[in-house]
């Protein structure tokens, strides 16, 4: 009998968000997310902090480095890479691609004091060659700009697709479907993944979209609110459980507690623990 993964504390639902470019509007977004207990990943370009960008009379300006440090450090949200200068990266030569991702990772780690393992693709530009570079420097997932309208966990973390952009008219319908879903023992975990740019709320004058969404979906006991990397690392910890052939002896060598169901029963195996099932 196989082990059916459950998230932290046996939950079957996760919600994560991903916002790009490190713009000034992230401050307001983080205030909203924090009010309702949601967690996000912020994808930053460390080579162009402080650059203003006026589009249709509205400022898409990027935060200055000091401002960004104040906003993101100790915010509880993840900092991930989005290249050094936001180019159409797959048009670049190999060594220029390498520079864009490695320099960004290095600068973000130095300035923000964290290990950067996530990456969002500017303009959604992906290639097998770039995947190889990302893997070689320690990036473990790559978010694209796709919308699946699904909540399945990704098969390929180097093509991590969102459930929807926050402007998708189905946003609240999807939120309601997740809230109402009553998982049975054999159902797989679901991950609701929302992405966008916080300047879009200003440009479209629709901050109410994220406020209403966060208010509705936040604060629920059966949803795990997590940054992208937390979900990735949890899934790896589950996959890396050591088991005997019959799945009766389970050893967790990871640093995380792991939950799963087997034969309609929920189990937790703590970090470093071995459990023996019936």
Footprint on this chain of Zn ion (rule: CB under 5 A): 20-21, 122
Nearest to 123 by CA among 64, 83, 79, 163: 83
For residue 177, give the nearest of 207, 204, 216, 203 by alpha carbon.
Answer: 216
Tell me whether residue 122 or residue 162 sits nearer to Zn ion (CB atom): 122
> Looking at beta carbons, which residue is closest to Zn ion?
20
Q: In this structure, what DSSP letter does residue 42 have?
A: E
DSSP 159: G
CB 82 to Zn ion: min, Å: 6
Q: How far is the CB of 147 from Zn ion (least distance, A)?
A: 16
Which CB atom, from 21 or from 200, has the smaller least distance to Zn ion?
A: 21
CB-nearer residue toward Zn ion: 36 or 99: 99
Cβ proximity to Zn ion: between 20 and 261 the closer is 20
135-152 burial: b if 16+ Cβ within 10 Å, else e: eebebbbbbbbebeeebe
Residue 167 tokens, joined: 């402007």
**Cβ distance to Zn ion smaller for residue 20 or 230:** 20
CB nearer to Zn ion: give 117 or 197: 197
CB of 20 to Zn ion, least distance (A): 4
Q: How far is the CB of 197 from Zn ion (least distance, A)?
A: 7
Instruction: State the minimum distance, in angstroms, from the CB of residue 140 to Zn ion.
Output: 20
List of residues 6+ apart from 95 with CB closer than 8 A = none
- Asked if residues 122 and 82 have their Cβ atoms less than 8 Å apart, the reply is yes
Least distance in angstroms from the C-beta of 139 to Zn ion: 16
Instruction: Say whether 192 sits in a helix, a strand or coil.
Output: strand
CA 17 to chain CA mean position, Å = 6
Which residues, at least 6 apart from 113, have a Cβ–Cβ distance to it below 8 Å? 73
């Amino acid at each position: 009998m196989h082990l059916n993964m459950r998230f932290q504390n046996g939950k079957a639902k996760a919600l994560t968000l991903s916002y790009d470019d490190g713009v000034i509007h992230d401050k307001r977004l983080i205030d909203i997310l924090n009010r309702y207990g949601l967690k996000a990943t912020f994808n930053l370009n460390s080579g162009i902090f402080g650059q203003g960008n006026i589009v249709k009379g509205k400022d898409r300006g990027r935060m200055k480095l000091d401002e960004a440090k104040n906003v993101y450090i100790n915010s509880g949200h993840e900092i991930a890479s989005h290249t050094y200068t936001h180019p159409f990266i797959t048009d670049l030569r190999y060594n220029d691609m390498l520079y864009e991702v490695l320099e960004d990772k290095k600068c973000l780690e130095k300035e923000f004091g964290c290990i950067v393992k996530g990456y969002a693709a500017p303009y959604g530009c992906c290639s097998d060659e770039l995947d190889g570079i990302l893997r070689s420097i320690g990036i473990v997932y790559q978010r694209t700009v796709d919308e699946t309208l699904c909540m399945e966990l990704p098969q390929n973390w180097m093509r991590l697709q969102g459930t929807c952009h926050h402007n998708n008219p189905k946003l609240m319908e999807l939120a309601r479907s997740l809230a109402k879903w009553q998982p049975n023992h054999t159902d797989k975990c679901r991950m609701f993944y929302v992405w966008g740019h916080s300047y879009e709320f200003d440009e479209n004058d629709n901050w109410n979209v994220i406020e209403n969404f966060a208010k509705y979906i936040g604060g629920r006991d059966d949803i795990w609110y997590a940054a992208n990397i937390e979900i990735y690392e949890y899934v790896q910890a589950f996959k890396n459980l050591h088991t005997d052939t019959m799945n009766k002896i389970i050893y967790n060598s990871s640093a995380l507690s792991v939950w799963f169901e087997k034969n309609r029963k929920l189990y937790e195996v703590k970090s470093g623990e071995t459990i023996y099932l019936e």
